[in-house]
Amino acid sequence: MRKKIEVTLQPPESTDGFELNRLIANSPPLDPNSVYCNLLQCSHFSDTCICAKTDGKLIGFVSGYLLPAKSDTLFVWQVVVAEEARGQGLASRMLTALVERPACRDIRHIETTITPDNAASQALFSRLADTLSTKVVQGPGFDRKLHFDGRHESEELWRIGPIHQ
What proportion of the chain, given as a percentage, has pLDDT over 90?
A: 83
Task: Work out the average pLDDT over 56-76.
Answer: 97
Any alpha helices (H) in 13-118, and if so which ranges? 17-25, 35-43, 90-99
Task: Work out the average pLDDT over 135-162.
Answer: 90
Over the range 53-79, which residues count as b (16 or more CB within 10 Å of their CB) and which as e?
Answer: bbeeebbbbbbbbbeeeeeebbbbbbb
What domains can be seen in the chain, in order of their start residue? 8-161 (3.40.630.30)
pLDDT of residue 149: 86
* Residue type at position 56: G
Task: Work out the average pLDDT over 25-35.
Answer: 92
Q: Three-class SS of residue 158?
A: strand
pLDDT surpassing 90 at residue 146: no
Q: What is the pTM of this model?
A: 0.93
**Does residue 159 or residue 143 have the better pLDDT?**
159
Are the C-beta atoms of residues 80 and 41 closer than 8 Å to each other? Answer: no
**Does residue 160 or residue 32 have the better pLDDT?**
160
Q: At what angle do helices 17-25 and 35-43 cross, to 10 degrees?
A: 130
Task: Work out the average pLDDT over 53-74.
Answer: 96
pLDDT of residue 135: 97
pLDDT in tens, 149-165: 888 888 999 999 999 86
pLDDT surpassing 90 at residue 3: no
Are the C-beta atoms of residues 107 and 94 closer than 8 Å to each other? Answer: no
pLDDT of residue 1: 54
